């Protein structure tokens, strides 16, 4: 069983090939606004490096966000188009779930935080289980201060420290550092990765929890900015 993972929710874009036997190949680049240029050549590269053919892929796994909209759509459109063209199913994971999954191997609670720009973060809490991740709070968008204060409140009632991970925690490190009962994960875990996506997706593919390629939808968590090219409310044409 061969899974192609595609991940582009943050400033990084990456892909990986693997399955139950582990990872065969992976690649990622961190070039803001270059997701679309990089992704397909990367996929061709890892397929070649792994010595397989794209037609050997049994399922495509994709990070559906939350994250930065434009880059996220590049990854999701690429994943759904590849899966549809190859006639294989899709499995999905959230960026927050991926961050939490990669950052811990024990059962401690993890707060994943993705930078949402405009002074906000996407966040959700998880615990690792033998077969993946259990979600303790649903993905949502909030100010870093609000997330930090909820962490501080709940930390008092817990035995072990909660781990905070993600580029949202890095960007707002002053808000998250120094809270009692909270550890911030080291820098290497700041971004969701395609490699983690393939590991997380493996049992999901084995259980056959598939999504039809045409039903894959980005997790935006924010309404679109309803600003047209000119302002109809102003009354006179601009």
Partner 1 sequence: MIGEAHDVAVEPPSIILGIETSCDETAAAIVRDGREVLSSVVASQIDIHARYGGVVPEVASRAHVEAIIPVVAEALAEAGIDHVDLDAVGVTHGPGLIGALLVGVSAAKALSLAWEVSLIGVNHLEAHLYAAFLEEPDLEMPLVILLVSGGHTMLVVMEDHLRYRVLGSTLDDAAGEAFDKVARHVGLGYPGGPIIDRLSTNGDPEAIRFPRAMMSDGWDFSFSGVKTSVVNHMRRHPDTDVGDLVASFQEAVADVLVTKARRAAREEGARGICLAGGVAANSRLRERVREVCELDGLRAFLPDREMCTDNAAMVAAVAWHRLCADGPSALDLGAFPSLRLPTI
Residues in contact with partner 1 by CB under 8 A are: 34-41, 43-44, 54, 69-70, 73-74, 76-82, 84-86, 213-214, 217-218, 220, 224-230, 232, 235-238
Whether the CB-CB separation of 114 and 121 falls below 8 Å is answered with: yes
DSSP codes, 7-50? E-SSS-EEEEEEETTEEEEEEEE--TT-HHHHHHHHHHHHHHHH
The percent of the chain in helix, strand and coil, each rounded to the nearest 5, is 35, 25, 35
| Burial class of 15 by CB neighbour count within 10 A (0 to 12, 13 to 18, 19+) | buried
Least distance from C-beta 211 to partner 1, angstroms? 13
Whether the CB-CB separation of 30 and 49 falls below 8 Å is answered with: no
Helix H segments across the chain? 35-50, 69-86, 95-103, 144-155, 167-171, 173-176, 194-206
Nearer to partner 1, 76 or 197 (CB): 76
Nearer to partner 1, 81 or 138 (CB): 81
Least distance from C-beta 152 to partner 1, angstroms? 34
Nearer to partner 1, 173 or 214 (CB): 214
Least distance from C-beta 216 to partner 1, angstroms? 9
Least distance from C-beta 206 to partner 1, angstroms? 24
Least distance from C-beta 144 to partner 1, angstroms? 23
Nearer to partner 1, 73 or 108 (CB): 73
Residue 134's alpha-carbon distances to 33, 126, 173, in angstroms, are 32, 5, 25
Nearer to partner 1, 118 or 153 (CB): 118
């Amino acid at each position: 069983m061969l899974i192609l993972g595609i991940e582009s929710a943050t400033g990084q874009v990456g892909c990986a090939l693997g399955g139950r036997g582990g990872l065969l190949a992976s690649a990622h680049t961190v070039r803001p606004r270059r997701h679309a240029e990089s992704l397909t050549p990367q996929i061709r590269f890892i397929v070649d490096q792994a010595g397989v053919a794209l037609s050997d892929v049994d399922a495509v796994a994709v990070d559906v966000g939350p994250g930065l909209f434009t880059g996220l759509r590049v990854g999701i459109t690429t994943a759904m188009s590849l899966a549809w063209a190859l006639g294989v199913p899709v499995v999905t994971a959230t960026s927050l779930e991926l961050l939490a999954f990669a950052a811990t191997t024990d059962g401690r609670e993890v707060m994943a935080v993705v930078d949402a720009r405009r002074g906000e973060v996407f966040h959700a809490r998880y615990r690792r289980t033998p077969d993946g991740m259990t979600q303790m709070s649903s993905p949502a968008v909030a100010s870093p201060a609000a997330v930090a204060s909820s962490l501080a409140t709940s930390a008092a009632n817990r035995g072990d420290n909660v781990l905070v991970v993600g580029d949202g925690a890095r960007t707002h490190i002053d808000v998250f550092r120094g809270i009692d009962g909270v550890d911030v994960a080291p820098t290497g875990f700041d971004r969701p990765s395609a490699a983690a996506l393939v590991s997380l997706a493996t049992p999901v593919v084995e259980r056959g929890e598939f999504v039809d390629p045409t039903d894959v939808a980005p997790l935006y968590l924010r309404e679109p900015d309803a600003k047209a090219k000119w302002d109809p409310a102003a009354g006179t044409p601009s």
